[in-house]
Chain A
Protein backbone atom coordinates (compact mmCIF):
# COMPACT_ATOMS: atom_id res chain seq x y z
CA UNK A 1 0.00 0.00 0.00
CA UNK A 2 2.12 2.91 -1.10
CA UNK A 3 2.49 5.65 -3.70
CA UNK A 4 0.44 3.82 -6.26
CA UNK A 5 -2.62 4.89 -4.31
CA UNK A 6 -1.71 8.56 -4.69
CA UNK A 7 -4.54 8.97 -7.02
CA UNK A 8 -7.10 8.29 -4.32
CA UNK A 9 -6.25 11.49 -2.54
CA UNK A 10 -5.99 13.82 -5.48
CA UNK A 11 -8.45 14.46 -8.26
CA UNK A 12 -7.34 12.83 -11.48
CA UNK A 13 -5.58 15.27 -13.82
CA UNK A 14 -7.89 14.60 -16.69
CA UNK A 15 -10.88 15.48 -14.56
CA UNK A 16 -9.79 18.83 -13.14
CA UNK A 17 -11.63 20.84 -15.75
CA UNK A 18 -14.48 21.50 -13.37
CA UNK A 19 -16.84 18.90 -14.76
CA UNK A 20 -19.28 17.08 -12.51
CA UNK A 21 -17.59 13.78 -13.20
CA UNK A 22 -14.53 14.45 -11.01
CA UNK A 23 -15.75 12.39 -8.09
CA UNK A 24 -16.81 9.49 -10.28
CA UNK A 25 -13.52 9.56 -12.15
CA UNK A 26 -11.60 9.45 -8.88
CA UNK A 27 -13.59 6.46 -7.71
CA UNK A 28 -13.12 4.77 -11.03
CA UNK A 29 -9.37 5.34 -11.00
CA UNK A 30 -9.13 4.26 -7.37
CA UNK A 31 -11.01 1.09 -8.24
CA UNK A 32 -8.63 0.35 -11.11
CA UNK A 33 -5.61 0.89 -8.86
CA UNK A 34 -6.88 -1.32 -6.06
CA UNK A 35 -7.99 -4.02 -8.43
CA UNK A 36 -4.50 -3.89 -9.99
CA UNK A 37 -2.74 -4.77 -6.71
CA UNK A 38 -1.66 -8.32 -7.53
CA UNK A 39 -2.72 -10.00 -4.31
CA UNK A 40 -5.98 -8.06 -3.98
CA UNK A 41 -6.72 -9.13 -7.51
CA UNK A 42 -5.84 -12.76 -6.76
CA UNK A 43 -8.50 -12.64 -4.04
CA UNK A 44 -11.00 -11.04 -6.42
CA UNK A 45 -11.47 -7.87 -4.35
CA UNK A 46 -13.58 -5.08 -5.71
CA UNK A 47 -13.81 -1.51 -4.50
CA UNK A 48 -17.36 -0.38 -3.87
CA UNK A 49 -16.97 3.06 -2.34
CA UNK A 50 -14.15 5.41 -1.46
CA UNK A 51 -13.64 8.97 -0.25
CA UNK A 52 -12.96 11.16 2.80
CA UNK A 53 -11.11 8.50 4.72
CA UNK A 54 -13.69 5.75 4.22
CA UNK A 55 -13.37 2.74 1.93
CA UNK A 56 -15.65 -0.22 1.24
CA UNK A 57 -14.14 -3.24 -0.47
CA UNK A 58 -15.71 -6.66 -0.99
CA UNK A 59 -14.35 -10.13 -1.71
CA UNK A 60 -16.26 -13.05 -3.24
CA UNK A 61 -16.62 -16.46 -1.61
CA UNK A 62 -14.23 -18.88 -3.28
CA UNK A 63 -13.55 -22.52 -2.35
CA UNK A 64 -9.80 -21.85 -2.70
CA UNK A 65 -9.95 -19.42 0.25
CA UNK A 66 -11.43 -21.98 2.67
CA UNK A 67 -9.59 -22.35 5.97
CA UNK A 68 -11.64 -25.07 7.60
CA UNK A 69 -12.38 -27.94 5.23
CA UNK A 70 -14.95 -29.41 7.62
CA UNK A 71 -17.16 -26.30 7.54
CA UNK A 72 -16.20 -24.52 4.28
CA UNK A 73 -15.57 -21.29 6.20
CA UNK A 74 -13.15 -18.76 4.65
CA UNK A 75 -9.65 -18.61 6.21
CA UNK A 76 -8.94 -15.72 8.57
CA UNK A 77 -5.91 -14.92 6.42
CA UNK A 78 -8.11 -13.98 3.46
CA UNK A 79 -10.18 -11.74 5.75
CA UNK A 80 -6.91 -10.14 6.98
CA UNK A 81 -5.92 -9.32 3.42
CA UNK A 82 -9.30 -7.72 2.81
CA UNK A 83 -9.08 -5.67 6.04
CA UNK A 84 -5.51 -4.58 5.28
CA UNK A 85 -6.31 -3.49 1.72
CA UNK A 86 -9.44 -1.69 2.87
CA UNK A 87 -7.57 0.04 5.73
CA UNK A 88 -4.81 1.23 3.39
CA UNK A 89 -7.37 2.52 0.88
CA UNK A 90 -9.20 4.43 3.64
CA UNK A 91 -5.92 6.10 4.67
CA UNK A 92 -5.09 7.06 1.08
CA UNK A 93 -8.51 8.64 0.62
CA UNK A 94 -8.10 10.89 3.69
CA UNK A 95 -8.60 14.59 2.99
CA UNK A 96 -4.99 15.43 3.96
CA UNK A 97 -3.87 13.60 0.82
CA UNK A 98 -1.00 11.37 1.99
CA UNK A 99 1.75 10.53 -0.47
CA UNK A 100 1.81 6.93 0.72
CA UNK A 101 0.99 4.54 3.52
CA UNK A 102 2.10 1.20 4.97
CA UNK A 103 0.60 -0.92 7.73
CA UNK A 104 2.33 -0.58 11.13
CA UNK A 105 0.05 -2.98 12.96
CA UNK A 106 -3.32 -4.57 12.47
CA UNK A 107 -5.43 -6.43 15.00
CA UNK A 108 -8.37 -8.48 13.83
CA UNK A 109 -11.11 -9.86 16.08
CA UNK A 110 -13.02 -12.75 14.58
CA UNK A 111 -16.53 -12.49 15.95
CA UNK A 112 -18.21 -15.28 14.04
CA UNK A 113 -17.65 -17.60 11.09
CA UNK A 114 -18.51 -16.01 7.74
CA UNK A 115 -21.36 -17.91 6.09
CA UNK A 116 -20.00 -20.13 3.29
CA UNK A 117 -21.10 -18.98 -0.15
CA UNK A 118 -21.56 -15.33 0.80
CA UNK A 119 -19.50 -12.31 -0.22
CA UNK A 120 -17.54 -10.54 2.55
CA UNK A 121 -17.66 -6.75 2.61
CA UNK A 122 -15.24 -4.63 4.65
CA UNK A 123 -15.73 -0.99 5.58
CA UNK A 124 -12.67 0.84 6.90
CA UNK A 125 -12.58 4.31 8.35
CA UNK A 126 -9.47 6.39 8.91
CA UNK A 127 -10.80 8.21 12.00
CA UNK A 128 -7.70 10.15 13.04
CA UNK A 129 -4.38 11.22 11.54
CA UNK A 130 -1.33 12.78 13.16
CA UNK A 131 1.70 14.18 11.33
CA UNK A 132 2.92 10.67 10.57
CA UNK A 133 0.37 8.10 11.77
CA UNK A 134 -3.13 7.20 10.63
CA UNK A 135 -5.55 5.31 12.89
CA UNK A 136 -8.06 3.01 11.28
CA UNK A 137 -10.97 0.86 12.34
CA UNK A 138 -12.80 -1.56 10.15
CA UNK A 139 -15.61 -4.09 10.22
CA UNK A 140 -16.45 -6.93 7.87
CA UNK A 141 -19.90 -8.37 7.23
CA UNK A 142 -21.50 -10.99 4.99
CA UNK A 143 -25.16 -10.97 3.87
CA UNK A 144 -26.22 -10.56 7.51
CA UNK A 145 -24.89 -7.03 7.85
CA UNK A 146 -26.20 -6.54 11.38
CA UNK A 147 -23.76 -9.10 12.83
CA UNK A 148 -20.17 -8.39 11.84
CA UNK A 149 -17.94 -11.30 10.94
CA UNK A 150 -14.79 -9.49 12.05
CA UNK A 151 -13.56 -6.14 13.36
CA UNK A 152 -10.12 -4.63 12.98
CA UNK A 153 -8.10 -1.76 14.36
CA UNK A 154 -4.82 -0.68 12.87
CA UNK A 155 -2.14 1.96 12.76
CA UNK A 156 -0.74 2.94 9.38
CA UNK A 157 2.11 5.23 8.39
CA UNK A 158 0.90 8.56 7.02
CA UNK A 159 3.47 9.86 4.58
CA UNK A 160 2.85 13.51 3.89
CA UNK A 161 3.88 14.96 0.57
CA UNK A 162 6.99 17.18 0.80
CA UNK A 163 6.13 20.71 1.85
CA UNK A 164 2.67 19.68 3.04
Chain B
Protein backbone atom coordinates (compact mmCIF):
# COMPACT_ATOMS: atom_id res chain seq x y z
CA UNK B 1 0.00 0.00 0.00
CA UNK B 2 1.13 3.57 -0.57
CA UNK B 3 2.47 5.63 2.29
CA UNK B 4 -0.03 8.08 3.87
CA UNK B 5 0.44 11.64 2.62
CA UNK B 6 1.83 14.24 5.05
CA UNK B 7 -1.00 16.11 6.78
CA UNK B 8 0.15 19.46 5.40
CA UNK B 9 -0.14 18.22 1.83
CA UNK B 10 -3.69 17.08 2.48
CA UNK B 11 -4.67 20.35 4.18
CA UNK B 12 -3.17 22.46 1.41
CA UNK B 13 -5.02 20.48 -1.23
CA UNK B 14 -8.37 20.73 0.59
CA UNK B 15 -8.00 24.44 1.33
CA UNK B 16 -7.03 25.17 -2.26
CA UNK B 17 -10.04 23.28 -3.59
CA UNK B 18 -12.38 25.14 -1.24
CA UNK B 19 -10.82 28.50 -2.03
CA UNK B 20 -11.07 27.84 -5.76
CA UNK B 21 -14.73 27.02 -5.39
CA UNK B 22 -15.63 30.02 -3.24
CA UNK B 23 -13.55 32.58 -5.11
CA UNK B 24 -14.93 31.58 -8.48
CA UNK B 25 -18.42 32.90 -7.64
CA UNK B 26 -18.69 36.72 -7.89
CA UNK B 27 -21.85 36.93 -5.76
CA UNK B 28 -20.16 35.12 -2.85
CA UNK B 29 -17.43 37.77 -2.98
CA UNK B 30 -20.02 40.56 -3.28
CA UNK B 31 -21.77 39.38 -0.12
CA UNK B 32 -18.44 38.68 1.60
CA UNK B 33 -19.22 35.10 2.65
CA UNK B 34 -16.24 33.08 3.94
CA UNK B 35 -15.94 29.39 4.78
CA UNK B 36 -14.27 27.75 7.80
CA UNK B 37 -13.21 24.14 7.28
CA UNK B 38 -12.61 21.40 9.85
CA UNK B 39 -11.97 18.17 7.98
CA UNK B 40 -14.92 17.94 5.62
CA UNK B 41 -17.17 20.09 7.82
CA UNK B 42 -17.85 23.58 6.50
CA UNK B 43 -19.20 26.58 8.38
CA UNK B 44 -20.17 29.60 6.33
CA UNK B 45 -19.47 32.97 7.91
CA UNK B 46 -21.14 36.23 6.90
CA UNK B 47 -19.19 39.13 8.45
CA UNK B 48 -21.54 42.02 9.26
CA UNK B 49 -21.46 45.15 7.09
CA UNK B 50 -23.78 48.18 7.18
CA UNK B 51 -24.90 47.68 3.60
CA UNK B 52 -26.48 44.31 4.49
CA UNK B 53 -29.28 46.09 6.35
CA UNK B 54 -32.89 45.78 5.15
CA UNK B 55 -34.59 47.71 7.94
CA UNK B 56 -32.56 50.65 9.23
CA UNK B 57 -35.09 51.34 12.02
CA UNK B 58 -34.64 48.06 13.93
CA UNK B 59 -31.91 47.61 12.53
CA UNK B 60 -32.15 44.19 10.87
CA UNK B 61 -30.32 42.33 8.14
CA UNK B 62 -32.20 42.25 4.82
CA UNK B 63 -34.28 39.09 4.29
CA UNK B 64 -32.64 38.79 0.88
CA UNK B 65 -29.19 38.74 2.49
CA UNK B 66 -30.29 35.92 4.77
CA UNK B 67 -31.79 33.99 1.85
CA UNK B 68 -28.67 34.48 -0.25
CA UNK B 69 -26.39 33.45 2.61
CA UNK B 70 -28.40 30.24 3.12
CA UNK B 71 -28.45 29.46 -0.61
CA UNK B 72 -24.71 30.05 -0.97
CA UNK B 73 -24.05 27.78 2.02
CA UNK B 74 -26.24 25.06 0.49
CA UNK B 75 -24.64 25.19 -2.95
CA UNK B 76 -21.07 25.21 -1.62
CA UNK B 77 -21.80 22.32 0.76
CA UNK B 78 -23.40 20.33 -2.05
CA UNK B 79 -20.54 20.97 -4.48
CA UNK B 80 -17.94 20.35 -1.77
CA UNK B 81 -19.44 17.04 -0.70
CA UNK B 82 -19.77 15.85 -4.29
CA UNK B 83 -16.16 16.66 -5.16
CA UNK B 84 -14.71 15.25 -1.93
CA UNK B 85 -13.80 11.79 -3.26
CA UNK B 86 -12.15 13.11 -6.43
CA UNK B 87 -10.29 15.69 -4.38
CA UNK B 88 -9.01 13.10 -1.92
CA UNK B 89 -7.87 10.93 -4.82
CA UNK B 90 -6.02 13.93 -6.30
CA UNK B 91 -8.22 13.82 -9.41
CA UNK B 92 -9.44 17.42 -9.34
CA UNK B 93 -8.38 19.58 -12.25
CA UNK B 94 -7.89 22.94 -10.61
CA UNK B 95 -7.87 25.31 -13.59
CA UNK B 96 -11.35 24.54 -14.93
CA UNK B 97 -14.31 26.11 -13.12
CA UNK B 98 -16.32 23.41 -11.37
CA UNK B 99 -19.83 22.80 -12.64
CA UNK B 100 -22.31 24.03 -10.04
CA UNK B 101 -25.69 22.61 -9.07
CA UNK B 102 -28.68 24.70 -10.19
CA UNK B 103 -31.32 25.74 -7.67
CA UNK B 104 -34.76 24.30 -8.48
CA UNK B 105 -36.51 25.83 -5.49
CA UNK B 106 -35.51 27.35 -2.18
CA UNK B 107 -37.76 27.94 0.85
CA UNK B 108 -36.61 30.16 3.69
CA UNK B 109 -38.14 30.30 7.18
CA UNK B 110 -37.38 33.55 8.94
CA UNK B 111 -37.43 32.60 12.62
CA UNK B 112 -35.95 35.69 14.23
CA UNK B 113 -34.71 39.09 13.22
CA UNK B 114 -31.23 38.99 11.71
CA UNK B 115 -29.18 41.24 13.99
CA UNK B 116 -26.41 43.57 12.85
CA UNK B 117 -23.73 40.99 13.73
CA UNK B 118 -21.82 38.21 12.01
CA UNK B 119 -23.90 35.20 11.00
CA UNK B 120 -22.94 31.54 10.64
CA UNK B 121 -24.54 28.69 8.72
CA UNK B 122 -24.16 24.99 8.14
CA UNK B 123 -25.89 22.90 5.50
CA UNK B 124 -26.69 19.19 5.47
CA UNK B 125 -27.18 17.25 2.25
CA UNK B 126 -30.18 15.05 3.04
CA UNK B 127 -30.26 13.34 -0.29
CA UNK B 128 -27.96 13.57 -3.23
CA UNK B 129 -28.83 11.48 -6.25
CA UNK B 130 -27.36 11.51 -9.73
CA UNK B 131 -29.86 14.15 -10.88
CA UNK B 132 -31.46 15.80 -7.85
CA UNK B 133 -30.38 16.79 -4.36
CA UNK B 134 -32.20 18.03 -1.25
CA UNK B 135 -30.35 20.24 1.22
CA UNK B 136 -31.30 21.68 4.60
CA UNK B 137 -29.46 24.66 6.05
CA UNK B 138 -29.58 26.55 9.35
CA UNK B 139 -28.12 29.92 10.32
CA UNK B 140 -27.42 31.46 13.69
CA UNK B 141 -25.68 34.47 15.16
CA UNK B 142 -24.46 34.70 18.75
CA UNK B 143 -25.95 31.44 20.06
CA UNK B 144 -25.95 28.30 17.99
CA UNK B 145 -29.14 27.18 19.82
CA UNK B 146 -31.02 30.22 18.59
CA UNK B 147 -31.34 29.59 14.86
CA UNK B 148 -32.50 32.83 13.17
CA UNK B 149 -33.28 31.32 9.78
CA UNK B 150 -33.47 27.92 8.12
CA UNK B 151 -34.13 26.76 4.58
CA UNK B 152 -34.67 23.71 2.42
CA UNK B 153 -33.65 23.69 -1.21
CA UNK B 154 -33.79 21.32 -4.14
CA UNK B 155 -31.02 21.32 -6.69
CA UNK B 156 -30.33 19.92 -10.12
CA UNK B 157 -26.89 18.30 -10.12
CA UNK B 158 -24.53 19.11 -12.99
CA UNK B 159 -23.97 16.22 -15.38
CA UNK B 160 -20.40 15.04 -15.07
CA UNK B 161 -19.69 14.84 -18.81
CA UNK B 162 -20.74 18.36 -19.75
CA UNK B 163 -18.39 19.70 -17.04
Contact = CB atoms under 8 A, between A and B. Distances in A.
A23 to B, nearest CB: 25
B67 A84 contact: yes
Given A38-B62, A39-B64, A81-B62, A66 B57 contact: no
Interface string A54-96: 0000000001111111100011111011111100100000000
A104 B68 contact: no
Contacts, number: 147
B56 interface: yes
B56 A81 contact: no
A66 to B, nearest CB: 4
Among B31, B50, B69, chain A packs the most CB atoms within 10 A around the CB of B31
B115 to A, nearest CB: 13
A105 B57 contact: no
A110 B25 CA distance: 19
B62 A84 contact: yes
Interface in B50-100: 50-58, 60-65, 67-69, 71-72, 75, 97, 99-100
A2 interface: yes
A15 interface: no
Contact of A104 (B75, B100, B110): B110
B64 A38 contact: no
Interface string A102-118: 11111111100100000
Interface in B21-50: 24-31, 50
A133 interface: no
A43 B52 CA distance: 10
A41 interface: yes
Nearest to B150: A105
Contacts of A76: 68, 71, 103, 106
Contacts of A105: 107-110
B27 A67 contact: yes
B71 A39 contact: no
Among A69, A75, A88, A107, chain B packs the most CB atoms within 10 A around the CB of A75
Contact of B105 (A3, A70, A107): A107
B56 A109 contact: no
Task: Give 8 closest A-B pairs by Cβ, nearest first.
Answer: A81-B64, A77-B68, A75-B27, A39-B62, A80-B67, A107-B107, A84-B63, A66-B26
26 contacts: A2-B60, A3-B57, A4-B56, A37-B56, A38-B51, A39-B53, A39-B65, A41-B51, A63-B26, A65-B30, A66-B27, A68-B100, A69-B24, A74-B27, A75-B72, A78-B27, A80-B64, A80-B71, A81-B64, A85-B54, A88-B63, A104-B110, A107-B105, A108-B105, A108-B106, A113-B102
Interface of B: 24-31, 50-58, 60-65, 67-69, 71-72, 75, 97, 99-100, 102-110, 113
Interface of A: 1-4, 36-43, 63-70, 74-78, 80-85, 88, 102-110, 113
